[in-house]
Amino acid sequence: MHEWALAEAILTTAAQIAEMEQLREVTQVTIRLGELQNAELGTLKFAINEIKSDLFKNAKFRFFRAKAELKCRVCGNCWQFKKEKLDDVTIEAIHFVPEVAHTFIKCPKCGSPDFEIVSGRGIWFDSIQGVK
């Protein structure tokens, strides 16, 4: 499961930021998950709790989803991704390799598979709070 790798990356990056900010203890980490990342939140939270270091022993991890917005490179149409329109096999493929979205998703206006992902892909930190 890639959630364990994501958890490790989140904790490593948060620890690096905490070190730069000279935090002795992290109290809260707020993370935004792109919808196309399609990480299973329960598994991700469990993984973080299992592998977190003492730096995060009392930290609360808050997660928010970032909706996926796509823009057609052919006609310029922008639209929000609706994963409910995809079957489970397709969602699973996008879950592991978000770039394959181009194979399964087409512009609703012109039908082109040539689009850019404007938002909703990846994972990023909104904030990290702690004690100096």
Express each pLDDT in 86-121 by its tens digit. 888 887 787 677 778 888 889 999 999 999 989 888
- For the chain, what is the mean pLDDT? 91
Pairing of strands 69-72, 25-34: unpaired
Q: What is the pTM of this model?
A: 0.77
Q: Which residue has the tokens 């493929």?
A: 93
**Domain holding 105: CATH number?**
3.30.2320.80
Considering only 58-67, 75-84, 105-114, which range has the smallest mean pLDDT?
75-84
Strand extents, DSSP E, 8-122: 25-34, 60-66, 69-72, 78-80, 115-119
**Domain span at residue 94?**
2-131
Is the pLDDT reported for residue 1 higher than 70? no
Task: Pick the range with the lowest mean pLDDT from 6-15, 30-39, 41-50, 105-114.
Answer: 30-39
Q: What is the mean pLDDT of residues 6-22?
A: 97
Number of domains in the chain: 1
Backbone angles phi and psi of 76, in degrees to 5? 85, 0
**Range 7-30 average pLDDT:** 97
